[in-house]
């Protein structure tokens, strides 16, 4: 649809855009990214024909843009510039109707039903219909922005050029406008070239991205090829980290403050544990980074309160979400800051120990209800109702773990737990083989994320060695306590 070939140009003889070559296929969205002053708007001005290039070519459907006259070009291409306050003399309806200008031979005289429909549809899809008779100057910045987008859509062209379309918009309207543009792309084959300052939005909505640095193309490709941590950090001169979007294969970035946020000094301390009849509780003076398979706030997050709650055998597990929220509120724990595990084991059977070696310190808590051991390699033979039995394991680590280290810590802790099951000769009652777990075990690894970085946590590392030993010893101790209180 659009081809840009060795394009250069700027103002008063000064080159701003330098030798750019790229193309956009019909029905795709290209996002233009780059720091302030890198030449994004200048590039867009050249594509829209407002600024003449000094070198190179711009082709729309294989014809140079200067082979189209102004009206032909306007039918091919609609442009949404950055907000221009001087054009605010119209009503919303009049402003959107201006989008139909290129399709008129003598304005108003040839105003057709189709023109009227397109204007109404554009106002509806941008959510501005109910302001149709209001003057633009009485609308907020975000509302005006939506009117100009409606105007560009009413133009019903094949190529839409947008300069920061979501500027001034709140997140609901950002989503509304970008979803709507995406729909026009999918349903009608609209092609879009848009400048974005928000890298995450660009990643979410664009098929391809063009990253500009000092007027030159630094990267051109799919979001995962452009939004790379080191590349973005280098071009924008800002420390950033990329992370996966929870639902889509579109990388996202987050800023890292240059000065570490004033974090309260946090260490793992055995005295932070409290045991009541209702629960084992650990409260950290500042949030810990956690990965867990808990029943409340599972997954990865930052939390400062941890509960291993003893529940009665008749506990209604199907109502666990609501019941846990009620329990937390009733007991004045913050539902968003607390991780909760459940156990049928009495809290007095919890084993807790603190370990340290050289610079590494960890605390481990285990409750081990091993009445229904399962040999995981033979679990496929089970067809009966699942028997609840749970080993809950918490590992608190003084240190800064990488993602790899968190995962390795989980592996190391699980292997140590399995070894403890074997050591205590816990059997799977169905197969009479050594049990490796129970059917509903939970594991939590939490780290202060302060101090020295621990890149790995397998048994080759100091922290891995400590986790292996600690989880084994504390699980053995918890199994013994459980056996002492229960007739197996
Ligand atoms: N009309 C103009 N005359 C002279 N120089 C200009 C003009 N418009 C922009 N420039 C200069 O060209 C360079 C690129 O500006 P441009 O507006 O293309 O950057 P941008 O990447 O869109 O920036 P921003 O993210 O701040 O909008 C800047 O140094 C700017 O000062």
Q: Is 86 helix (H, G, I), strand (E, B) or coil?
A: helix
In this prediction, residue 84 carries a pLDDT of 55
Q: Which fold has domain 2-255?
A: Rossmann fold (3.40.50)
Cα three-residue angle 421-422-423, rounded to 5 degrees: 90
Between the alpha carbon of residue 357 and those of residues 67, 354, 404, 462, 469, the distances in Å are: 76, 11, 21, 8, 11
Helix 113-125 and helix 141-154: axis angle, to 10°? 140
Ligand 1 lined by 39 (C-beta under 6 Å): yes
| Contact predicate 334/318, CB 8 Å | no
Give the list of residues 6+ apart from residue 211 with CB closer than 8 angstroms, or none: 33, 34, 217, 218, 219, 220, 226, 231, 232, 235
ipTM above 0.85, yes or no: yes
Chain segment 183-229, per-residue pLDDT in tens: 889 988 999 999 999 999 999 999 999 999 999 999 999 999 999 99
The whole-chain average pLDDT of the chain stands at 90
Chain segment 8-37, per-residue pLDDT in tens: 999 998 999 999 999 999 999 999 999 999
Chain segment 425-444, per-residue pLDDT in tens: 999 988 999 999 988 899 99
CA distance 147 to 127: 9
DSSP class of 319: G
Ligand 1 lined by 36 (C-beta under 6 Å): yes
Give the nearest ligand 1 atom to 45 CA.
18
Buried/exposed 334-364: b ≥16 CB within 10 Å, e otherwise: eeeebbbbbbbbebebbbbeebeeeebbbbb
Q: Which residue(s) pair with 160 in the sheet?
A: 78, 192
* Total H helices, total E strands in the chain: 12, 24
Chain segment 80-138, per-residue pLDDT in tens: 865 554 556 688 998 888 888 777 665 556 778 888 898 999 999 888 999 888 988 88
Q: Which CATH architecture has domain 270-485?
A: 4-Layer Sandwich (3.60)
Residue of 37, 84, 212 to mutate, ligand 1, most atoms within 8 A of C-beta: 37
What CA dihedral angle connects 169, 172, 173 and 174, to 10 degrees? 70
Q: Whose CA is nearest to atom 6 of ligand 1?
A: 11
The whole model's pTM is what?
A: 0.82
pLDDT-based confidence at residue 408 (cuts at 50, 70, 90): very high
CA distance 368 to 483: 9
| Contact predicate 362/446, CB 8 Å | no
With tokens 């292997």, the residue in question is 415
CA of 214 to the centre of ligand 1 (A): 11
The mean pLDDT value for 306-332 works out to: 90
Residue of 16, 34, 45, 48 to mutate, ligand 1, most atoms within 8 A of C-beta: 16
What are the residue ranges spanned by the domains of the chain? 2-255, 270-485
């Amino acid at each position: 649809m659009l081809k840009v070939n060795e394009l250069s140009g700027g103002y008063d003889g000064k080159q701003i855009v330098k030798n750019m070559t790229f193309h956009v296929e019909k029905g795709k969205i290209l996002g233009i990214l780059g720091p302030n002053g890198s030449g994004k708007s200048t590039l867009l001005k050249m594509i829209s024909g407002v600024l003449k290039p000094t070198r190179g070519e711009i082709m729309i459907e294989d014809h140079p843009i200067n082979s189209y006259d102004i009206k032909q070009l306007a039918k091919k291409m609609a442009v949404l510039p950055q907000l221009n306050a001087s054009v605010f003399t119209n009503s919303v309806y009049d402003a959107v109707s201006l989008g139909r200008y290129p399709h008129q031979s003598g304005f108003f005289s040839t105003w057709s039903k189709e023109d009227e429909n397109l204007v109404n549809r554009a106002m509806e899809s941008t959510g501005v219909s109910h302001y149709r008779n209001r003057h633009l100057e009485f609308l907020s910045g975000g509302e005006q922005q939506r009117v100009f987008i409606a105007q560009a859509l009413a133009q019903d062209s094949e190529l839409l050029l947008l300069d920061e379309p979501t500027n001034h918009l709140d997140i609901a309207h950002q989503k509304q406008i970008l979803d709507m543009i995406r729909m026009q792309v999918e349903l009608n084959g609209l092609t879009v070239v848009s400048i974005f300052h928000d890298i995450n939005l660009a990643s979410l909505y664009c098929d391809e991205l063009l990253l500009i640095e000092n007027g030159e193309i630094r990267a051109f490709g799919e979001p995962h090829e452009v939004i790379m941590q080191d590349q973005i950090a280098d071009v924008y001169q800002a420390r950033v980290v990329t992370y996966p979007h929870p639902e889509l294969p579109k990388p996202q970035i987050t800023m890292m403050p240059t000065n570490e946020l004033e974090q309260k000094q946090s260490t793992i301390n055995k005295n932070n544990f409290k045991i009541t009849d209702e629960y084992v509780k650990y409260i950290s003076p500042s949030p810990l980074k956690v990965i867990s398979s808990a029943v409340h706030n599972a997954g990865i997050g930052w939390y400062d309160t941890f509960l291993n709650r003893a529940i009665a055998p008749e506990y209604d597990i199907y109502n666990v979400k609501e019941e846990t929220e009620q329990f937390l509120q009733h007991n004045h724990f913050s539902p968003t800051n607390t991780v909760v595990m459940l156990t049928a084991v009495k809290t007095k059977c919890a084993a807790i120990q603190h370990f340290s070696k050289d610079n590494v310190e960890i605390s481990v808590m285990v409750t081990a209800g091993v009445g229904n051991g399962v040999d995981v390699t033979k679990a496929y033979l089970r067809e009966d109702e699942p028997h609840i039995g749970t080993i809950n394991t918490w590992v608190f680590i003084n240190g800064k773990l990488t993602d790899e280290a968190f995962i390795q810590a989980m592996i190391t802790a699980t292997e140590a737990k399995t070894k403890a099951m074997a050591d205590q000769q816990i059997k799977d009652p169905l197969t009479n083989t050594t049990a490796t777990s129970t059917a509903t075990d939970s594991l939590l690894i939490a780290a202060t994320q302060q101090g020295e970085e621990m890149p790995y946590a397998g048994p080759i590392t100091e922290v891995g060695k400590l986790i292996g030993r600690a989880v084994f010893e504390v699980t053995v101790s918890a199994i013994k306590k459980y056996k002492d209180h229960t007739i197996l």
